[in-house]
Amino acid sequence: MSTATGHQGIHRAVLVLEILQVDQYDHYLKGFQRAAIQTERLSATLNAGQSVVLSLGLTMVLIAAVVSGPGGAAAAANVAAGRPGATAGDLVMIQGLLLQLWAPLQFLGWFYRWAGGLCLTLM
């Protein structure tokens, strides 16, 4: 009878330890989930900020191109004809150039965040 009581005690102790281990795992898992959500929010905020900066910069450059107009002899001809500002082709060229310069920068930013996350995962 004493061995049955001893086994029941051991089983109870194991059960209590399992419950404590599950509770501790749940606690750490919830903390990890909160951190993952916060990381995603910060990444989305960063991406939104980059998009706003790109949009404002592109808008300001295009406005400056329209206001200042083309340079050289074409500027004199446009002013004499009463057409100040850049042509549609000038605006398309400026926009294409800026977007081609911006795309590699976005990729480098993504790669930097990815590499940083990978290094944290390895630790």
pLDDT tens string 61-117: 888 877 776 555 555 556 556 666 677 787 888 888 888 888 888 788 778 878 877
7 or 90, higher pLDDT: 90
Work out whether the CA dihedral 10, 12, 18, 23 comes out positive or negative.
negative
pTM of the complete model = 0.56
Q: Residue 70, by phi and psi: left (phi above 0), alpha (psi -120 to 50) or beta?
A: beta
pLDDT at 26: 92
Phi, psi of 55, deg, nearest 5 = -65, -45
Residues 13-22, mean pLDDT to the nearest whole number: 81
Q: Which candidate, 72, 70, 74, 73, places its Cα nearest to that of 94?
A: 70
